Amino acid sequence: MPSPRYHREIPARYRLEAGRCTGCGKVAYPVRMVCPHCRGREFEALRLTPTGRVITSTVVHVPPDEFLNEAPYAMAIVETPEGARFMTQVVDCDPSEVGPGMDVELEFRLIRKEGQSGILCYGHKGVPAGVG
Amino acid sequence: MREVAIIGTGMTSFGELWGQSLRGLFVEAALGAMETAGADTLDSIYVGNMSAGLFVGQEHLGPLMADHLGMRGVPATRIESACASGGMAIRSAFFEVASGASDLVLAAGVEKMNDGADVTGVLATASDQEEEVYYGITFPGLYAMIARAHMAAHGTTEEDLSWVSVKAHRNGAKNPKAQFRRVMSLEDVMGSSMVAEPLRLLHCSPVTDGAAAVLLCPLDRAKEFTDRPVKILASGAATSTLSLAQRPDPSHLDVVELSGKRAYEMAGLGPDQIDLAEIHDCFAISEICCVESLGFMEPGKGGEGAREGITDLGGRIPVNVSGGLKSKGHPVGATGVAQAVTVVEQLRGEAGELQVEGARIGMAQNMGGSGASSVVHIFQGA
Amino acid sequence: MPGIVGYGAFIPRNRIRSEEIARQWGKDPATIQRGLLLEEKSVPGLDEDTITISVAAGRAALARSGIDPQKVGALYIGSESHPYAVKPSGTVVLEALGLGPDIHVADFEFACKAGTEAMSVALAMVESGRAEYAMGIGADTSQGAPNDALEFSASAGGAAYIFGKTDLLVEVLHTYSYTSDTPDFWRREGEFYPRHGGRFTGEPAYFHHVMSATKGILDRSGHKPSDFRYAVFHMPNGKFPLTAGKKMGFTQAQMEQGWVVNLMGNTYSGSSPTGLAAVLDIADPDDLILITSFGSGAGSDSFILRATDLLPERQGLAPAVRSMLDGPRKYLTYGQYAKLREKIVLNH
């Protein structure tokens, strides 16, 4: 992954920075220029609460090369209290435990490595709520 | 707008075609379309292709293919919409003819997937790089999430999914161009290895090389080329979010519903009047979701389609009599055009063992990504 | 007098029992447990490293402190397993914690002592007035070579300390460091596993420096061992800290709470800092606390601390060390452990 592309995503990935549309109140995560719901162009900055609920999920058994040794792993669409949804792994539990309705906390983790000598890429993953 | 007809079709076999190159596949299918029409000129060419750049390092397919087809000088460009590239190429060709700008326009889709590229990685470019792929999701993983959401919302079962694959292979076994011509049992499907829960290997379409082509011309000139033209009644298309997390309801392919609605409106008819449909079954769950979104089955009831024989050859609405993407194969950019080729052959009564009796109106629905783009064409036999 | 305004720790949730490691190498588990006093240790996941552990500990420290992260003027992270050989852990951690960009950042290395070094320098930044608040973190995911004694203890975890001048949870009363060149344990550039001098790591290295630093701080402060409610020493295994402590006149009762190694293993730069966090989790106002770290190479940092009236109300604002040790966790087989610790050679 080229560094500039990674660097631009740091606010969203490291700090869960999002934007609430001042027109319709819906939250865009990551931030965008145009609200997909009302086409508004003004947003108020906010940081998502690092907790969420699983909307749907799967367990990946055949992974992409970069995730070879992590398989099988659970991936889920997680919704935060602000109504923002994003997709990430859910870890520190048996993947089969992950399902719709599960409450998770979001922890800072290493998401991927760019091969042997490339940069390390971080972000948030879900862990079962209450396990911390 | 003028009325538009398809006057010729061409298609290569689908499979692991080690001896054939990207350009070779294109030319074979394109020549087929031109020769069946007896046409020897073209006004314009649309090449449907998802990712020759990543699969074989080749962009700029318009001029390359025009040249290799012996059509140097003819305007040509590539149309890309991930797995819906083929259908979108037909749509572009349709409007160019309908507008009166051109008469003879070729829409041909081609994909060469088996030349050593990291197929999983390339296919993942159809989904959101920053929001989905970054975290480790795969294409099957996205559809697996859709399946899980559909199962949670509607009680669809793994068996329902598996019947879709069984039907696909039962049909594909009779399709001489199909990649897999072997009948599969329910046990075969449900016993295959897990890819992303709940989708197993035999719920997923394969990696395929292939090409397909259709030649369009204005309906009022069709008789110069064929006595059995097939009219394109409608083209409807739509987009939705790339990222599944941003989709309002992960169990509902809203893009298919919207593209279907637009096509039905343009054609002035509804699902009950469709005699057969070639639907985008990249994974078994997508056929289930699409038959619902296209109005062939009630929302939530799509799982009954294959299980109860409703979507069988001989059923109320035959879906994927060609074997679908599952059994026929899924050379990504070619699929949308191959679907049209099947429908055209059916409407011309040329489908042999797989013929839907009395087929007059057919549909082809082609989808990109995890439900980010969809294009629906409705055809009518003479 | 500046002190600690926030503290936090993080221990990964995977574990491996020493008897499982012993079984792998054909050693007698009872002998290991008797000799090293180790039951189990923490193991980081493939997605955990010094950076992620530092972020978790740092978030907990910020939560307990209640301060505006933007006021942290310095961040230091001590580790012997920084994820990059060149590129600081501190920059990733600062972005994740919402600190900076008006901040001074440095990564420290001094084997197991790098954590208390980070703390010492953070303290000095506040003391000198260069920063209103400064954070020092000790965290590690160190490797133990397969079939080596250190494989039983090398573990993962860490703790973060925020220093400031007001609203202290813990006062820092005295500090003292004792350092010499003693090559007891090292890792050359490019090597995957460290090496050590066997029994040389004992008396001339660990014991000499821990006891010299402790004696030094007691002399300079005029305190004696019985003055302290709690004492925390670096924990390379279960035995050494208890032996050293007893030799110096500290009791089991004083050392117990901070003696986390039997369940956690030796988290190297995170070892005594995490032991200290375990003590702070239960300390009462006015409790006197001694902590002496040890880093191979070699040296020790000592601190004398006193809990304030503010500590009790902040303890509960983030997870306690003992609740993480006893909390939800997964026990691994040796094979799973080897995979997670990347000890298995892969085809690249």
Residue C143 above 90 pLDDT?
no
DSSP string, B131-175: TTGGGT--HHHHHHHHHHHHHHHH---HHHHHHHHHHHHHHHTT-
Measure the CA–CA gap between B111 and B206, rounded to whole angstroms: 13
b/e per residue C252-274 (b: at least 16 CB within 10 A)? eebbebbbbbbbbbbbbbbbbbb
Tell me the two tokens of residue C75: 């961040």
In contact, B127 and B141? CB cutoff 8 Å: no
Which chains lie within 8 Å of chain B at 3 or more CB pairs, if any?
A
CB within 8 Å: C96 and A15:
yes
Task: List pLDDT tens digits, range C171-181.
Answer: 999 999 999 99
Q: Taking the CA of residue C296 as centre, how many other CA atoms within 13 Å lie in the half-sphere pointing to its CB?
A: 19
Q: Does B155 touch chain A (CB under 8 A)?
A: no
**Residue B150: active-site member:** no
Q: What's the pLDDT score for residue C348?
A: 66
Residue A132 above 70 pLDDT?
no
List Cα–Cα distances, B29 to B13, B22, B311, in angstroms: 9, 11, 29
Nearest to C95 among A14, A91, A132 (CB): A14
Q: Could you tell me how far CA A3 lies from the centroid of its own chain? A: 19
Nearest to C45 among A10, A91, A108 (CB): A91
CB within 8 Å: A107 and C52:
yes
DSSP string, B271-301: GGG--EEE---SBHHHHHHHHHHTTSS-TT-
b/e per residue C12-23 (b: at least 16 CB within 10 A)? bbbbbbbbbbbe
Q: Which residues contact C70 (CB under 8 A, 6 or more apart)?
A: C98, C99, C102
Q: What's the pLDDT score for residue C142?
A: 86
Measure the CA–CA gap between B298 and B283, rounded to whole angstroms: 20
ipTM > 0.95? Answer: no
Q: Does C300 touch chain A (CB under 8 A)?
A: no
Tell me the two tokens of residue C198: 């066997």
pLDDT band, residue A65 (cuts 50/70/90)? confident
CB within 8 Å: A64 and B133:
yes
Tell me the two tokens of residue B190: 């449900």
In contact, C235 and C275? CB cutoff 8 Å: yes
Residue C222 above 80 pLDDT?
yes
Measure the CA–CA gap between B302 and B134, rounded to whole angstroms: 32
Nearest to A56 among B120, B134, B149 (CB): B149
Longest CA span, chain C: 59
Q: Does C95 touch chain A (CB under 8 A)?
A: yes
Chain C residues with CB-CB distance to A110 below 8 A: 46-49, 51-52, 83
Q: Does C84 touch chain A (CB under 8 A)?
A: yes
CB within 8 Å: A61 and B195:
yes
Chain A residues with CB-CB distance to C13 below 8 A: 92, 127, 131
Tell me the two tokens of residue B43: 């006004």
Strand C133-141 to C72-78 pairing: parallel
Q: What's the pLDDT score for residue A49?
A: 97
Residues facing C109 on adjacent strands: none
Chain B residues with CB-CB distance to A75 below 8 A: 135-137, 141, 145
Average of per-residue pLDDT across C287-298: 97
Taking each helix axis from N to C terminus, what angle separates C208-221 and C239-248, rounded to the nearest 10 degrees?
40
Task: List pLDDT tens digits, range B120-155.
Answer: 889 999 999 999 999 999 999 999 999 999 999 999
Tell me the two tokens of residue C133: 């608040």
Average of per-residue pLDDT across C101-115: 96
Q: What is the pTM of this model?
A: 0.91
Q: Does B380 touch chain A (CB under 8 A)?
A: no
Nearest to B135 among A30, A85, A123 (CB): A123
Average of per-residue pLDDT across A29-55: 96
* Nearest-by-CA chain A residue for B127: A87
Percent of chain C with pLDDT over 90: 93
Q: Name the 3-class secondary structure at B369.
A: coil
Provide the mean pLDDT of chain A.
95
* Helix (H), strand (E), coil (C) string for chain C: CCEEEEEEEECCCEEEEHHHHHHHCCCCHHHHHHHHCCCEEEECCCCCCHHHHHHHHHHHHHHHHCCCHHHEEEEEEECCCCCCCCCCHHHHHHHHHCCCCCCEEEEECECECHHHHHHHHHHHHHHCCCCCEEEEEEEEECCCCCCCHHHHCECEEEEEEEEECCCCCEEEEEEEEEEEEECCEECCCCCCCCEECHHHHHHHHHHHHHHHHHHHHHHHHCCCHHHCCEEEECCCCCHHHHHHHHHHCCCHHHHHCCCCHHHHCECHHHHHHHHHHHHHCCCCCCCEEEEECCECEEEEEEEEEEECCCHHHHHCCCCCHHHHHHCCCEECCHHHHHHHCCCCCCCC
Torsion of CA A63, A68, A70, A75, to 10 degrees: -20
Task: Supply angle C-alpha A71, A77, A83, rounded to 5.
Answer: 155
* Nearest-by-CA chain C residue for A92: C13
The number of residues in chain C equals: 348
Closest CA of chain A from B149, distance in Å: 6
Which of B119, B125, B133, B138 should we substitute to test contact with A (largest number of A Cβ atoms within 10 Å)? Answer: B138
Chain A residues with CB-CB distance to B251 below 8 A: 56
CA proximity to C295, closest of C182, C217, C145? C182
Residue B340's identity, in one-letter code, is: A
Nearest to A107 among C46, C49, C56 (CB): C56
**Residue B68: active-site member:** no
Measure the CA–CA gap between C275 and A75, rounded to whole angstroms: 35
Q: Does C48 touch chain A (CB under 8 A)?
A: yes
CA proximity to C10, closest of C155, C154, C157? C157
Q: What's the pLDDT score for residue A2?
A: 74
Closest CA of chain B from A23, distance in Å: 19
CB within 8 Å: B133 and A62:
no
Which chains lie within 8 Å of chain A at 3 or more CB pairs, if any?
B, C
Strand B44-48 to B76-79 pairing: parallel
Chain B residues with CB-CB distance to A30 below 8 A: 130-131
Residues facing A59 on adjacent strands: A74
Strand C104-108 to C72-78 pairing: parallel
Closest CA of chain A from C176, distance in Å: 34
Q: Which residue stretches of chain B have pLDDT < 70?
A: none
Active-site entry in B169, B203, B280, B330: B330
Q: Name the 3-class secondary structure at A99.
A: coil
Strand B230-239 to B276-278 pairing: unpaired
Average of per-residue pLDDT across C100-114: 96
CA proximity to C21, closest of C45, C41, C47? C41
Strand C185-186 to C40-43 pairing: unpaired
Closest CA of chain A from C47, distance in Å: 4
Closest CA of chain B from A85, distance in Å: 6
Closest CA of chain A from C112, distance in Å: 23
Q: What's the pLDDT score for residue A130?
A: 83
Residue C292 above 90 pLDDT?
yes
